Amino acid sequence: MTKYFGTRSEVISKREIDHEEAVRKLAGQCMVLLQNDGSLPIMATNGNIALYGSGARRTVKGGTGSGDVNSRHVINIEQGLEAVGYKITTKEWLNEYDRLAEKKHEEYMSELEAMSKENGTPVFILTFGNPFKEPQPQPITENDINNSKTSTAIYVIARNSGEGADRYNNDGDYLLSKEEIAEITLLAKEYEKFILILNVGGIIDTSAIKSIDGINAVILVGQTGSFGGYAVADVLTGNTVPSGKLSDTWAASYEDYPSAGTYSHNNGNIDDEYYNEGIYVGYRYFDTFNITPNYCFGYGLSYTNFDIEVCEVRADETQVSVAVKIKNVGDTYDGKEVVQIYYSAPQGKLDKPYQELAAFGKTNLLAPGEEQLMKISFKTTSMSSYSEEAASWILEKGDYLIRVGNSSRNTKVAAIITIDKDVVTEKLINLFKDSEKLNLMHPTRNNMYKYPGEQEEISAAKRIFIDTSKINVVAIKYNTEKPEYKDNMPEKTLTMEDILEKRATIEELTAQLTVEEMASLCVGTMRMKADSCDVIGSASINVPGAAGDTTSLMLDDRKIGNLIMADGPAGLRLTPHFQTNLDGALIVNEPEFSNLSAERMVKSDDKIDYYQYCTAVPIAWMLSQSWDMELIKTIGQIVGREMLEFHVTLWLAPGMNIHRNPLCGRNFEYYSEDPLLTGMCAAADTKGVQSYPGIGTTIKHFAANSQEDNRMFNNAHISERALREIYLKGFEIAVKSAQPMSIMTSYNLINGIHSANNYDLLTSVLRDEWNFEGFVMTDWFTSQETPSIFGNVKHKYPISSSPLCIKAGNELQMPGCKQNVDDIIAAVKDGVITLGELQNCTRNILKVISKSNFYNGVKPYTQQLCDLKWYVKTENIK
pTM here? 0.94
- CA–CA dist 488, 485 (Å, integer): 9
- pLDDT the model gives residue 535: 40
- pLDDT the model gives residue 751: 98
Which amino acid, one-letter code, is at 551? T
142 close to 630: Cβ distance less than 8 angstroms? no
475 close to 427: Cβ distance less than 8 angstroms? yes
**DSSP 8-state secondary structure symbol assigned to residue 33:** E
Using alpha carbons, list the distances in angstroms from residue 314 to 351, 380, 425: 26, 11, 20
639 close to 673: Cβ distance less than 8 angstroms? no
- CA–CA dist 670, 664 (Å, integer): 10
Sheet holding 577-580, edge to edge: 586-587, 577-580, 608-611
Identify each DSSP E strand in 141-271 by its residue range.
Answer: 152-158, 193-199, 217-220
C-alpha angle 65/702/612, rounded to 5°?
A: 40
Q: Which helix (H) or strand (E) holds 587?
A: strand 586-587
- CA–CA dist 453, 865 (Å, integer): 51
Task: Assign 216 to helix, strand or coil.
Answer: coil
Question: What is the DSSP annotation of 389-456?
Answer: TTTEEEE-SEEEEEEEEEETTEEEEEEEEEE-S-EEEEE-------SS--------GGGS---TTHHH
- CA–CA dist 179, 139 (Å, integer): 7
Find the radius of gyration of the CA atoms of the chain.
27
114 close to 96: Cβ distance less than 8 angstroms? no
Domains detected in the chain: 31-240 (3.40.50.1700), 296-475 (2.60.40.10), 513-575+618-823+831-837 (3.20.20.300)
Cis peptide bond prior to 41, omega within 30° of 0: yes
**Helix 835-850 vs helix 818-830: angle between axes, to the nearest 10 degrees?**
140
Residues of the chain with pLDDT under 50: 527-538, 590-600, 860, 862-878
- pLDDT the model gives residue 857: 58
End-to-end CA distance of the chain: 60
Cis peptide bond prior to 165, omega within 30° of 0: no
Nearest to 622 by CA among 333, 243, 364: 243
Sign of CA dihedral 264, 815, 3, 581: positive
849 close to 559: Cβ distance less than 8 angstroms? no
**DSSP 8-state secondary structure symbol assigned to residue 301:** B
- pLDDT the model gives residue 789: 62
Backbone angles phi, psi at 425, to 5 degrees: -100, -25
C-alpha angle 573/575/576, rounded to 5°?
A: 105
- CA–CA dist 419, 578 (Å, integer): 64
- pLDDT the model gives residue 132: 85
CA atoms within 13 A on the CB side of 239: 18
Q: Which helix (H) or strand (E) holds 377?
A: strand 371-379
Using alpha carbons, list the distances in angstroms from residue 604 to 36, 236, 587, 596, 765: 59, 50, 7, 16, 53
Cis peptide bond prior to 139, omega within 30° of 0: no
3-state secondary structure 673-699: CCHHHHHHHHHHHHHHHCCCCCCEEEE
Nearest to 678 by CA among 698, 709, 707, 699: 699
Break the chain down into helix, strand, coil percent, rounded to 5: 30, 20, 50
Query: How would you class 624 by CB atoms within 10 Å of its CB: exposed for 0-12, middle for 13-18, buried for 19 or more?
Result: buried
- CA–CA dist 423, 395 (Å, integer): 5
Identify each DSSP E strand in 8-137 by its residue range.
Answer: 32-36, 47-52, 86-88
Strand-pair partners of 315: 320
How many other CB atoms are there within 10 angstroms of residue 801's CB atom? 18
396-424 residue pLDDT tens: 999 999 999 999 999 999 999 999 999 99
**Helix 675-689 vs helix 629-646: angle between axes, to the nearest 10 degrees?**
40
516 close to 825: Cβ distance less than 8 angstroms? yes
278 close to 440: Cβ distance less than 8 angstroms? yes
- pLDDT the model gives residue 859: 55
